[in-house]
Amino acid sequence: MCNLEHLSKRDLKIFLDAPRSHVDNYEFPEYCYPDYEKPVCRVGTDGVREIVSMRWGWPPPKPGMPVITNVRNTSSGFWKRWLEPEYRCLVPSTAFCEWTDSKPKKQHWFALDDAQTPYCFAGIWRPWTGERGPKKSPIAGDHRVYAFLTTEANGVVAPIHAKAMPVILRTKEEMTRWLTAPTAEALKMQRPLPDGALKVVATGKSSSSAA
């Protein structure tokens, strides 16, 4: 389960092909964990793509459970409403992390290439009202929250994390299709990248070893 990812501070407005941005003066952490905020792209109510700040982690079905960061079973009725185009989003990233189940645990950072070319996770979002954020200083009020889809692991990820890998979109055509296509067509994109399209770019124990 991917619960740590990296996004270098590049020109997201150009990369995401979004003419409207609400985060131009927003400083976001390069290393993103659940409940952190980061720039995410969606289609606004007027049909224009926009970049907004969202918080990672879907509200759980029952109070007291951890937030949901990754979505695998898209056939579940729990997700049906949120898989419609108006609730889909693009979660930009340059690398994601998985840990080996060893002592001590070791991080493995995956990216498209050594340059860490940007891509997007296929995400969904929703509005939510309540307390979110750091446990020591939770923020009460209205939030936009997101999670992203996972699928079976490819041959590069499986030796480290056999259970799953994120659904990654690499081209503008894929990103547009995820945001706008009918649900049945969009869900055909829930598949692993080819083995040759992903590589391990860093390993280590520190949470800041992707760069």
Q: pLDDT tens digits for the chain (211 residues)?
A: 678 999 987 777 778 888 898 888 778 889 999 999 999 999 999 999 999 999 999 998 888 889 999 999 999 999 999 999 999 999 999 999 998 876 778 899 999 999 999 999 999 999 999 878 777 778 888 999 999 999 999 999 999 999 999 999 999 999 999 999 999 999 999 999 999 999 999 998 655 555 5
Q: Which is nearest to 57 in space by CA: 76, 75, 32, 22?
A: 32
> 63: cis peptide before it, omega within 30°?
no
On whether the CB atoms of residues 151 and 164 are closer than 8 A, the answer is yes
On whether the CB atoms of residues 165 and 153 are closer than 8 A, the answer is yes
The residue assigned the tokens 């990296």 is 6
Q: What domains are defined for the chain?
A: 5-204 (3.90.1680.10)
How is residue 136 written in tokens? Answer: 């020591």
Whether the full predicted model's pTM is greater than 0.85, yes or no, is yes
